[in-house]
Amino acid sequence: MAEFSFELDDDQKAVRDWIHGFAADVMRPAAAEWDEREETPWPIIQEAAKIGLYSLDFYAQQYFDPTGLGIPMTMEELFWGDAGIALSIVGTGLAAVGVLANGTEEQIGTWIPQMYGDAADVKVAAFCSSEPDAGSDVGSMRTRAVYDEAKDEWVLNGTKTWATNGGIANVHVVVAVVDPDLGSKGHASFIIPPGTPGLSQGQKFKKHGIRASHTAEVVLDQVRVPGSCLLGGKEKLDERLARAREKAKGGGERLKNAAMATFEASRPAVGAMAVGTARAAYEVALDYARTRQQFGRPIIDNQGVAFQLADMRTRIDAARLMVWRASWMAVSGRPFESAEGSMSKLFASETAKQVTAQAVQILGGNGFTREYPVERMHRDAAIYTIFEGTSEIQRLVIARTLSGVQIR
């Protein structure tokens, strides 16, 4: 078990600096263009693939970093570069985590490489959980998966929404209801292989922020997949459903569902994304405050500005420490007895919104224009308190964990 340390080792620092260089030299100069175009930045993803930054090997190395800091370090640097482009680069990872959290070794080895492709032919993947009437309320999910025993196939029908890379992905991971009587406990995850008939892209959303990341509906109409595409396998699913039915009869403990297992694993990583965006906005504001002259002196000479910058930096550092703690706890196998994973996501997300808003204020009228990047960063930051569990849901998780009461 790795000892917790606030200091990155030499190898981690080298990786961090390498990612930062890509973010500064490739992502930053292209950020405004792809934000305006509202399109997937395939050329940037391909550049990342060419140097090994967008690859299964790289993310596996970071995922299995024994300190737990590989993924949050990567996310912070990429999202420092630009949140929209970064989400296009890392969005595949949520689907990969879904397979890692729920799949067999054979499924992991078969499908995750197909999610990334290679430098000559890059691919992306999509994790599809939310629905038009089921976002935070996963128990309201309606997408159904019915087992055709004669053909050993699962038949999926329904509509997913807010899917990053939805419809353009090579591989889709879809959460569906297999036993409606069990609510959220009756869910399972399925791989939808490339080219499967019946899967199509629905509406593509035009968004307030992270506009370089493709977000769309995914429509499943009589989609048939082999039994081997059920993550974890049918035997494991049948055992889990049987336990859930028994516990439901006795009013037993709550069980994790397939979607929540994925989100729990990714919450500290989302916190790291928020830290990256907040840090980027803070650095722009700090540089601006040092150089902007008003009344014959730099505006940072005024306490009103200087104290804001002090608060911004303090919150960013505190958010990073919470993310690192949760990431270390996860890799060390320590339970989130106080919902530390949700705490890290909540605090970092709220920090990103607050810090980017303060950055706009410090830049004044310039901060409100697209000539400066803080306007885009402020728009991008709004998503962190919404996706992969809203701030309200994080507070609910934390409150339930601390109190032991099923607060509603």
State both tokens at 153. Answer: 């196939």
Residue type, 182: L
Helix 70-81 / helix 258-291 crossing angle, nearest 10 deg:
50
Q: Measure the CA–CA gap between 146 and 157, rounded to whole angstroms.
A: 9
By annotation, the residues acting in catalysis are: 388
Which CA distances in Å does 406 have to 254, 293, 396, 397, 401? 10, 54, 9, 9, 9
Provide the residue type at 189 as one letter. S
Say which residues have a Cβ less than 8 Å from residue 71's Cβ, sequence separation at least 6. Answer: 59, 62, 63, 65, 268, 269, 272, 327
How many angstroms separate the CA atoms of 282 and 291, rounded?
14
